[in-house]
Each structure stands twice: as C-alpha cells, then as structure tokens.
Structure 1
Amino acid sequence: MTSSWRALRRRLLTPNVAETTLDKRGFHKKSPAAQERLENVGKAFITGYAHAVEARTSADAMARIEELPDWLHGFACEGAAMGLAVLDGLPFGRSDNVRRFLATPGGAAYQHLAYVGIGWAMARLPRFRWPKPSSLDPVLAPLVLDGYGFHQAYFHTARYVDGKYQDQNFPWPGGRHGSYANNAIDQGIGRASWFVRGTDPVLVADLLDTFPERRRPDLWAGVGLAATYAGGGDDRSVAERELRTLRARAGDYRGNLAQGSAFAANARVRAGVVPAHSALATQVLCGSTPQEAARLTDELRPGYQPDGDKPAYEVWRQRLADAFVSLGGVNT
C-alpha cells in the first residue's frame, strides 16, 4: 500500500479531534486545568488512531505514539487499537491488525488499553464485523465492553448517562456469561462519567447517585479507574482534597472505587509510566502505592475460569475490592 493511499485512509477514517472538546460534548468545565487535561487526553486518543490507520506497520504506529508525552501513551494506544479494529472490521484488507499491534513490545505493554479501544470500534462497526470473543484473552475480554460503554456514554450522553439506557439483551460475547455484558458496559459508563462531569468529584458522585443501586458498584469502579489513570488536572493539594471527597462519597462502594483505581495503577506500572497524579490517586483511593496495588492486582487475577456463574474478570474484581476493604486503607 502506498504512502499516499495510507494518508487518504487516515483522512477518511480518523474522527475530527473537535469531537473531543468539552464544548462540543457539552461536558462540565471544572477548571481550565481540568479542561486542558481532558482535552489533551482526547487529542492523544485521536492522534493514536490517526497514526495507526496511516502507518505501514504496527511498530511504525507505536514509534509515532512514543513521540507524545509519556503519560498520554496509553490513551494514544487506546485510540490506535480502535483504528486498527476498524480496519479489521472493513470488508477488504487485513483482519489481523490489532493482533499484530499487540504483538509489538509497545502494544503488549498497553494490552488493557488496547482492549478498551476495540470496544470503541465495536460501537461504530456493524455487529457481524465485531471481533470473535475466542480471539481475545478470556479474562480481559470484558474490557472490550468497558470501551463500548465509555464510547456510548461519551458520544450519546443524553441516552446512556442522563437516560440511564441499558440494553438488556446485549449480544456480545454471548455464551455462559453473556448476561454479564451490562456490568462491564457500566464500568465504561462510570469511567466516562469522570469526563462528563469534568472531574468534579461532587458532580460525579451526584450523578452516580441517580443510577439504580444495582448498577453503582460497576459505575464506581469505572470512576476509580478514570480518576487514577486520567487524573483531575489540578495541583496536588486540590487533587488530594477532591480525591478524598470522592472516596467519602463512594460510601459502601469504596471497595469498588479502589478496585478500579488498582486496575489503573496496574496498567500504569505495566507500561512503566506512573505519573504523579496516578500515584496520588492510588494512595488516596487504595491506601497503597501504585506498585503495591499493581502487585496485588496481579496476584489476585484468576489463572482460569472458576466454577460458578461469574466470569473470571468479575471474580478478579470482587477479590480485589474485598482485599482493599479487608486491608482497611480505603476506610481511613
């Protein structure tokens, strides 16, 4: 494929970065610093997407992503995975673009974010072009649904956030644990809520209080992940105060909040990039360092599908939430 054709493909397929601004989305603006942070995240996502659909190889795309500030690499990889999953879903061309990206050292380091990016692509592809669940890590596959949920809450906020929409018969992945899909989607909606409410902990908590109680554990887990991975954009003293407010407002869901935070810490440590805002959030929400939270996350991950009616991913999440409650760090 010629470079001119790849450049055309980039122009045709890449979303407009203006779609990620808070003004365009109608999201709350807490402060100029928070707005800048969230919009930088959106730009990095689109940048990663654009590099991936234009690059000759996955390694080339990763090399371009590494030109960004290191704390944004994960968001760019998420966008890259979306772009590559869109290419995989097109009727012509390669169908193994995501797999090849994950086989690169950089792609492997951001595997969790890449799975989320696949979910973004699913939201824009016809269902018959969705990836086969059997092609994914069986423990991590629900992260794809997390990405789908984030996309829907981010771009269809009135329906999924304000209207509390939930598809009771979501068709993917199906099978024995198919009914779990909405739990994973709600984790993505919780993550998006951090963006929708502009990282304001009071507004985020007020929003989650409007959802049915059965959905709140998953939503709070998503908030914990976003607050830790993306951060709030303000200086340390403000950020610490806001994180403590968030933890207090989580109430009975503090374990879920800590679980999401630990997942974010694990992703940061896995990639070797732990910015100060992620370390602070892990300390406040988990009562531990990112390295300790990441280690516990790895230790509690099931190595296989346990017996019972819950997928391994949910068993993993519950083990982690219970562990942080037992350790007491989330209750101080």
Structure 2
Amino acid sequence: MAIWNLPRLRRWLFGIPPREITVERRGFVGGTPATRARIEQIGETFAYGYHAALESPAMDVLQPRLEAMETERRGFAYEGAAMGLALLDYLIPGRRGGRIAAFLAGPGDAHAYMVHVGIGWALARLPRRLETNLRPLDPLLRWLAVDGYGFHQGYFHWPRYVTAMARPRNLSPYALRVFDQGLGRSLWFVKCAVPARIAETVDGFDAARRSDLWSGVGLAATYAGGVKQGTLEGLHKLVVPHRAELAQGAAFAAKARERAGNPAPHTELACKLFCGETAVAAARVTDDVLQRLSAEDRGSGNAPAYEIWRQGIRQHFEGTP
C-alpha cells in the first residue's frame, strides 16, 4: 500500500500542530482577550478543515465533516480543506488538480471564494512558481489564490512581509498587487484587530501599496469579525483616504458569505459602517459589477478583468461617508 493512502501518515507529515495557530506562538500582540480568542478559533477551524481533507479527501466523506462545522465558521473549514486537497493534488502522482476540480464542482462550489483562497495557502508551501499553478483555475477567481498566498506569508512570516515590508520574488506586477490584498487581510490577525496598530502599519508601506492593503483589511474585518462596533467605527475613522477600498473589501466579504449561505451579524454591522448599506445590498453590488464585465474580460485571464471588477465596486462606494 502506498504511503499516500495512509491518512494518519499524511496528517503526521503535513499537519499543522495546534500550537502553531496560537497567537502566542505566532507572536501576535495586543487586542482584547475576546479578539485573541476569535483569532485562535478561526485558526482552529481552518486547521480542522485542512486535516479533514488530508485524512478523508473523498468528497462523500469530506463534505459531511465540513458541514458539521458551525455555519458561521464553515467557510474557514472549507478554506482549510482546499489547502489540503490542493496539497494532495500536487504530491500524489496522477491526480494533479483532480481533487480541487471535484471539490469546486461539488461541495466547494458555494464556498468558491474561500476555496480559491485556500489553494493559495497550499501554493505558498509548494516549490513551483506561483503563477504557473494558477493556469488550471477559473480565469477570474484564480487571483484569489494569490490573495491567499499573501495572507499566508503575512500570517506565518510577518517579520519579513509586514515589519520589513518585503515583496515576494517572481510575481508579475499585478500579482504583487493581489498579494498585498492578502497581506492586508493578514494585518487584521497579526495586529489583533487594533485599528491604530493596523493604520500605523499600513501607513509605513509605500503609498502605492496602501490601497490594496486597505482592501484586504476591509475584507478581513467584515468576514472574520471578533470585535465590537466601537472597534469597527474606530477603524473607519482612520481610513478616510481609502474608505472606498475598505468598502470594496467589505463587499467581497459579504458576497462570500451570501454565496455560501453563512451570514453573520458582524458582517452585517461592518457593511453598514463601511459600505453604508446592508450585507445583502453590498453583495449585490459585486454581482452587478460582475455582470457588466464583457465576456472577453471575464474569460481572458488578464489581470485587468479581476481589477476592473474591483474598480467597479470601489467606484460604487466612492463618496460613502
């Protein structure tokens, strides 16, 4: 029997030890006890999905394990499962892309945004050039894998990518922008959702990078939650020059939850503050802009297709108080 057919061995070789997702181990400081607990809870949920995929990659076994997760947190479990399946697709001969393709065609479809982000986590740990691995993916959503890669690097390697503000090598100019969107998402975790620390960190980056970073912050604050209304209001007050980017990220988060059927009160609250409208309305903005993209833009795989989508959403929210 091949070693790849032994679930416990796969988990032993590639699993994430529980200690690795504690805020203490990651070196994340500050934040309230409740926020720190939420950050760890999200990490635990991601790891649950990741390990479920390593142990039980067959869809008929994996799906019930993921669906057993509490609805509000289920997206994180699907994200983790995508990382596990993508890793197995790469490592097991003859199955390149097969598990992820089956996942997206089946139970992962409703969580397609989170699945593509989870693929990016796997790509961060594989030796191949990142953008080479994107080619089999959806021409539009493949960029979310680059976002996932950026989050992974910020979350696990923040001294290099957050403190030292390093940029990865061998990424195209637009991929570097999407990397920053994922890096911005990681700041919500690395800085334990403290608005002043997040704003100070973003302001330390080159001005050309700040818009994408704030987009990521908006997405994480809206999707992940873990804070009270006053914290979100404090964040909003600090982002006056980039409120449209914050709103665009929030709208993406609202759409991810709407598609997956896992709405959350904190997402509703953040959308009302950042977007000036409900989560349902914010999600609809992403749909409306996407529908206006030409078939050529959506199918070409060119970076501008994804960026045109984001620009249209930003433009909708420009001038939002």
Q: What TM-score bracket applies, with the shorter chain setting the length?
A: over 0.9
What corresponds to 2:116 in structure 1?
A: 115
Contact 2:185 2:216 in 1 (8 A): yes
Matched, 1:18 2:19: yes
1:221 matched to 2:222: no
Give the stretch that moved more between structures: 60-69 or 126-135: 126-135
CA contact (8 A) 2:181 2:216 kept: yes
Larger mean Cα displacement after TM superposition, 253-262 or 6-15: 6-15
Deviation at 1:59, TM superposition (A): 3.3
> What corresponds to 1:141 in structure 2?
142
CA distance in structure 2 between the aligned counterparts of 1:37 and 1:264, rounded to whole angstroms: 17
Where in structure 2 are the equivalents of 1:159-170 lying within 5 Å? 159-167=160-168, 169-170=170-171
Q: Which runs of 5+ in 1 are unaligned?
A: 171-177
Question: Residues of 2 paired with 1:160 and 1:129: CA distance?
Answer: 17
1:52 and 1:58 in contact (8 A); partners too = no
Preserved CA contact (<8 Å) 1:29 1:197: yes
- Measured at CA, do residues 4 and 181 of structure 1 come closer, stay the same or move farther in structure 2, by a change above 3 Å? closer
Instruction: Give the counterpart of 1:304 among 270, 281, 295.
Output: 295
- Structure 1 segment 152-301 matched on structure 2, within 5 A: 152-167=153-168, 169-170=170-171, 178-231=172-225, 233-234=226-227, 239-301=228-290
CA drift of 1:8 comes to 2.3
CA displacement 1:177-202 (0-9 Å, x = unmatched): x3201000000100000000001111
Q: How many residues align?
A: 314
**C-alpha separation between the residues in 1 aligned to 2:317 and 2:57?**
44
Q: Which residue of 2 aligns with 1:43?
A: 44
TM-score by length of 1: 0.90
AA partner of residue 244 (structure 1) = E
* Pairwise CA distance, 1:305: 4.3
Is the 8 Å Cα contact of residues 57 and 85 (structure 2) preserved in structure 1?
no
Contact 2:268–2:278 at 8 Å: present in 1 too?
Answer: yes
Partner of 1:60: 61
Superposed CA deviations along residues 268-320 of structure 1, whole A, max 9, x for unmatched, are 0111111111111111111111110111101101243449x852111111110
- In the alignment, the residues of structure 1 paired with residue 282 and residue 129 of structure 2 have an alpha-carbon distance, to the nearest angstrom, of 38
Q: Please name the residue that 1:33 is paired with.
A: 34
Output aligned runs, 1:73-92, within 5 Å.
73-92=74-93
> 1:28 and 1:94, CA in 2 relative to 1: closer, same or farther beyond 3 A?
same
Matched, 1:314 2:307: yes
Deviations 1:35-63 (A, max 9, x none): 11110000000100000111151232121
Structure 1 stretches (4+) deviating beyond 3 angstroms? 1-4, 128-132, 303-307
Check 1:10–1:167 CA distance in 2 against 1; reply closer, same or farther (3 A cut).
Answer: closer
Match for 1:221: what amino acid?
S
What runs of 5+ residues in structure 2 fail to find an aligned partner? Answer: none
The answer to whether the 8 Å contact 2:233/2:273 transfers is yes
Taking structure 2 as the reference length, the TM-score comes to: 0.93
Q: SS of the residue aligned with 1:127?
A: coil
Change (3 A) 1:94 1:20: same
C-alpha distance in 2, partners of 1:5/1:132?
Answer: 26
